[in-house]
Amino acid sequence: MSSVPASAFLALALILFCIGLYGALTKRNTVIVLISIELMLNAVNINLVTFSKYGMTPSITGQIFALFAICVAAAEASVGLAILIALYRTKKTVNIDEMNTMKN
C-alpha cells in the first residue's frame, strides 16, 4: 500500500534515538543534555505512531500514547529546567561535571 516500509520509520527513530543518547551521555552542558533527552523521547514517539499504523493490529491507541508521551515530556522539560535553574543559583554553572553531589 505504502511505498515506505515500516522499518524505514523505525530505523529513523533508531538513528534519532542514538543521536539523543550520545548527546545525553557525552555533552557537558546540562541544557543540551535535557534537549538530547527530548530528542530521545521524540524518537520513541515516532515508534509509537509507526506501530499505530503498521503494527500487528493497527489502531489509534499508538497515537494516543504518543500524545501522553508528549505531555509527560513537556512536564519533564519544565521540571528539569526548574531544577537546572535552582542548581545554577547555588553552583553558578551548568557544567555537568560540577553536579556530583551523589558522590558524598
Partner 1 sequence: MMENAWLIPLFPLLSFLILLLFGKRLKKASAYVGIIFTLASLIFSILVLFERFSEPTYMTKFEWLTIGDLHLTAGFEVNQLNALMLFIVSLVSFLVHTYSKGYMNGDERFPVFYAYLGLFTFAMLGLVLSPNLLQTYIFWELVGVGSFLLIGFYFNKEEAKAAAKKAFIMTRIGDVGLFIGMILLFWETKSFEYSEIFKAVDSGAVSGTMITLTAILIFIGAVGKSGQFPLHTWLPDAMEGPTPVSALIHAATMVAAGVYLVAALFPLFLASKTALLTIAVIGAFTAIFAASIGLVQTDIKRVLAYSTVSQLGYMMLALGSGGYVAGVFHLMTHAFFKALLFLAAGSVIHAVHTQNIEEMGGLWKKLKLTGPLFLIGTLAISGVPLLSGFFSKDEILIAAWEGGHPILFLLALIAAFMTAFYMFRLFFMVFTGEARSEMKHVHESPNNMTFPMILLGVLAIVAGYVNTPWFGSFFGDWLVDGNPALGHGHIEGPIWIMIAATVVSLLGIYVAYLMYFKRSLSRNWLSGTGDTLHTILLNKYYVDEFYQLTVIAFTKGFSYFLRFIDVFVVEGLVKGVVGIVQGLGKTGSKMQTGQVQTYGAVAFIGLALLAVIFALTGGYLR
Partner 2 sequence: MTFSGEFLAFMGLALVAIIGGVLLLNLTKVVHMVVALIFTFVAIAGIYVLLSAEFIAAVQILIYSGAITIIMLFGIMLTKHDDESEPKTGKWRKILVFLGIVGFAFAVYIGIYNFNIEQVPTTLHENNTMQIGKELYSKYIIPFELTSVLLLVALVGSIILAKNEKKEADSE
Write the binding mask 44 to 83 for partner 2: x where contact by CB under 8 A, - elsewhere.
-xx--xx-xxxxxxx-xx-xx-xxx-xxxxxxxxxx-xxx
Rg (CA), the chain: 17
Beta bridge partners of 95: 29
- Find which of partner 2, partner 1, none residue 33 binds, CB within 5 to 8 Å per kind: partner 1
Q: Which residue has the cell 509509537?
A: 48
Q: What is the 3-state secondary structure (H, E, C) of 53-93?
A: HHCCCCCCHHHHHHHHHHHHHHHHHHHHHHHHHHHHHHHCC
In the region spanning residues 59 to 98, those forming contacts with partner 1, defined by CB under 8 A, are 96-97
Q: How far is the CB of 91 from partner 2 (least distance, A)?
A: 10
- Find which of partner 2, partner 1, none residue 91 binds, CB within 5 to 8 Å per kind: none
* Of residues 49 and 96, the one with the C-beta less far from partner 1: 96
CA angle centred on 14, ends 27 and 12, rounded to 5°? 110
Residue 24 found at the interface with partner 1 (CB under 8 A): yes
